[in-house]
Amino acid sequence: MLKKVEEEKLFNFLYSHARNIQKCLQLTHYRLFFDDASRKKCAIKNAAMTINVDFQYLEADISVKESIKDCWKLKDYNVIINTLIHEICHILIDELYGCYEDEVKRNEKKGVKLDYDSGNFYRERTTEHISRWGARLYQDFMDINNINLKTGKCIPISKKKKSLKV
């Protein structure tokens, strides 16, 4: 459990990086909200974060679990960012997955049973592939835009270390 001040720093970190990730992945038309998953029950027990996307209203709720808070205590910023990128990439994948869910429901009405779990397996696997691509893009995005890993904020050029002229 984090102290209130540390929890606030974590959520500021998440918001700052989320805005940048959205710019990088061209998903700025979605509004993201973060909440503390320890205050509510969640169906997915082993996930570090979960996302619930409302495609109609272009909003997404991201729940932060205790393992992310542990990473924050350990200052493992890359793990937090990669997890955040993975959850944001669900926005790209889950609408297609919704088509699969609809097909499963249609077939069940006809008496045909499709494997719901295999669809979820492919959804997670595809999201992970896309998020690794997104993480690489975001790393370059941070370098180009002088974004501080620890804060998610831009470092003014005047404060950067000046290189020696040769």
Predicted confidence (pLDDT) per residue in 10-59, tens digit: 999 999 999 999 999 999 999 999 988 765 565 566 789 999 999 889 99
Look at residues 17, 127, 134, 33 and name the one whose alpha carbon lies nearest to residue 77.
17
pLDDT in tens, 58-82: 999 999 999 999 999 999 999 999 9
Say which residues have a Cβ less than 8 Å from residue 100's Cβ, sequence separation at least 6. Answer: 119, 123
Tokens of 131: 């998020």
Higher-scoring residue by pLDDT: 98, 139: 139
CA distance 28 to 63: 19
Helix (H) or strand (E) holding 64, with range, is strand 59-64
pTM (predicted TM-score): 0.84
End-to-end CA distance of the chain: 50
